[in-house]
Each structure stands twice: as structure tokens, then as C-alpha cells.
Amino acid sequence: MTRWYQEKKREHYYKLAKREGYRARSSYKLKQIQQRFHVFEEGNVVVDLGAAPGGWSQIAKEYVGVDGVVIGIDLQSIAPLDGICFIQGDITKHSSLEAIKEVLQKRDVDVVLSDMAPNISGQYSMDHAKSIFLAEQSITIVESLLRKNGNYVCKVFMGDLLDGFVDSLYTYFSIVKRFTPSASRKSSSEIYIICKYYKN
């Protein structure tokens, strides 16, 4: 019964994304994060790390509006979307940070998003460690770009390194919360960390 329900839910969000014009079912995860934690405001500047295929960037643009700016970056190329700037690049490389800065033209960033995930190897401890590594890399972007009192959202896989990573975030942010959106599969080990009020 549980597996049947999860398959039904997965199909529900997939079909809903297709019907509403979103590129990924994960769009609803970010919607649920916004509804709970209010990470975006109209006019915000947002950097979306690991943006392919563009579903999170679509949601971010809806919330920041025509006066807001959304910049997405990913190793993969991303088909264009109106009002969103996409960069193909590796966020672990300094050249990618410079490419983001060039688009920003000295504007402050209000929100950094990271829905990045490693290529799954099937070895859980290794996949977990890689997800924490990617999250730590996204913090490098936060330190370089995020304005004081800005917000940050990242995805990681649960495991023995999670508590240490979450504890480290209190160095940077006044509020740090763990959250699993209802749009996530129950079988998934992913969890989202929502951080508010960057201390800078």
C-alpha cells in the first residue's frame, strides 16, 4: 500500500509539472519551501546552483517577478527560459564564479539555491559524502556573493556527515532549519536545509 501510494504521488507531481509548464517535479519542492519559510521576495536577485533542467529557476522567477533577477548555473546546458540567465559551468571552478559576477554587474545576491546532487554510484556512504561536498562548495558561492541577511537553501543526502554540516551553518546564518517537502518521495534520503539571515 505504501509503495503504491508513493508511486501515485510521484506520478501526481510529474503530471502536475507537465500540466502547469514546469520543467521538473522538483519545482513543487521549492514552492513548498517558499510557502513554509518565505525565502524569496519580489525584486530579489537569486543564484540557482545545479539549475538543470530549470524547474527551480522557473519557480524563483515567479516569486521575484519582473524586477527580480534569476541566474542559473549547471554543468549541463539548459534550454532558454524567458527572463532567466543560464550559465553552463562547474561551480567548483573559479571561472564559474567570475561568470556569475559578470552577469550580476555588482548587484548583491539575496538568495542562493542549491539543488545539486552527485551522480549516484549506488554506494550510499559515498553518495552522501559527495552531496555534503557539493553543499560545502555552494557555501563558497554564498561567501562570495550573498548579501547580509540573505537566504540560502540547499539539498543534501542524510547520513553521518549531516549534523556536522548543519552545525557549521550556524557560523553563517541566524536561522538554520531542516525540511522535507511533501513533494519529496518518502523513499528518498534527501533533505533540504533552509538558512535565513546571513551574518556576512
C-alpha cell at 62: 515567479
Asked whether the predicted pLDDT for residue 97 surpasses 60, the reply is: yes
Q: How confident is the model at residue 10 (pLDDT cuts 50, 70, 90)?
A: low
Contacts of 134 (CB under 8 A, 6+ apart): 50, 114, 116, 117, 118
> Contact at 8 Å (CB) between 119 and 76?
no
Which three cell numbers, joined as nine digits, stand for 84?
532567466
Name the strand (E) or helix (H) holding 71: strand 69-74
Mean pLDDT of all residues in the chain? 90
* pLDDT band per the 50, 70, 90 thresholds, residue 129: very high
Return the C-alpha cell found at 32: 513548498
In the chain, where are the structural domains located?
2-198
Residue 139 has pLDDT above 60, yes or no: yes
Report CA 18 to chain centroid distance, whole Å.
20
Rounded average pLDDT over 67-78 = 96
Please give the average per-residue pLDDT across 176-186, as a whole number: 90
Q: Is 31 a catalytic residue?
A: no
How would you class 42 by CB atoms within 10 Å of its CB: exposed for 0-12, middle for 13-18, buried for 19 or more? exposed
Handedness of CA 107, 109, 115, 116 (dihedral sign): positive
Q: Which of 199, 191, 175 is nearest to 39 (CA)?
A: 175
pLDDT score for 53? 93
Tell me how far apart the alpha carbons of residues 13 and 64 are, in angstroms, rounded to a whole number: 23
Strand partners, 127: none
pLDDT band of residue 187 (cuts 50, 70, 90) is confident
The yes-or-no verdict on residue 15 having pLDDT over 80 is no
DSSP state of 147: E
Residue at 134: amino acid letter? L
Give residue 188's pLDDT band: very low, low, confident or very high (50, 70, 90): confident
Q: How much is the pLDDT for 43?
A: 97
- Is pLDDT of 26 > 50? yes
CATH code reported for the domain at 2-198: 3.40.50.150
More confident residue, 164 or 24: 164
Indicate which residue of 29, 61, 130, 155 is catalytic: 155
- The mean pLDDT value for 53-70 works out to 96
pLDDT tens sequence across 144-153: 999 999 999 9
CB-based contact 111:152 (threshold 8 Å): yes
More confident residue, 12 or 61: 61
pLDDT higher than 80, residue 130: yes
**C-alpha grid cell, residue 39:** 525565502
Tell whether the model's pLDDT for residue 1 goes beyond 50: no
